Amino acid sequence: DQQVKQNSPSLSVQEGRISILNCDYTNSMFDYFLWYKKYPAEGPTFLISISSIKDKNEDGRFTVFLNKSAKHLSLHIVPSQPGDSAVYFCAAGGTSYGKLTFGQGTILTVHP
């Protein structure tokens, strides 16, 4: 039972354009969501998070949008840069427990 799904295995974007990565979840008990970025041979690094009481959180070039009714979140990167090329994972958690449930990841490639 995949509670967090990233349905696009890969995304290719031109430098300077917007990258939009999508994530869907099924468990209504999740009340916060995170995006992690992973380079080869490294562990995931935290990018940005959002509480379920908000619908948007912004940090520099990164914005996360949450649509609770649709159980959908997205990460927008604008403008995209070649250094953003990595695997992006969305993850979900609950404030009453510690574990995170991750999606399968989306490989983002930003072309110069």
Partner 1 sequence: GAGVSQTPSNKVTEKGKYVELRCDPISGHTALYWYRQSLGQGPEFLIYFQGTGAADDSGLPNDRFFAVRPEGSVSTLKIQRTERGDSAVYLCASSLSVGLNTEAFFGQGTRLTVV
43 is a site residue for partner 1 (CB under 8 A): yes
105 is a site residue for partner 1 (CB under 8 A): yes
Residue 37 or residue 80: which is nearer to partner 1 going by CB?
37
Per-residue 3-state assignment (H helix, E strand, C coil) for the chain: CCCEECCCCEEEEECCCCEEEEEEECCCCCCEEEEEEECCCCCCEEEEEEECCCCEEEECCEEEEEECCCCEEEEEECCCCHHHCEEEEEEEEECCEEEEEECCCEEEEEEC
93 is a site residue for partner 1 (CB under 8 A): yes
21 is a site residue for partner 1 (CB under 8 A): no
77 is a site residue for partner 1 (CB under 8 A): no
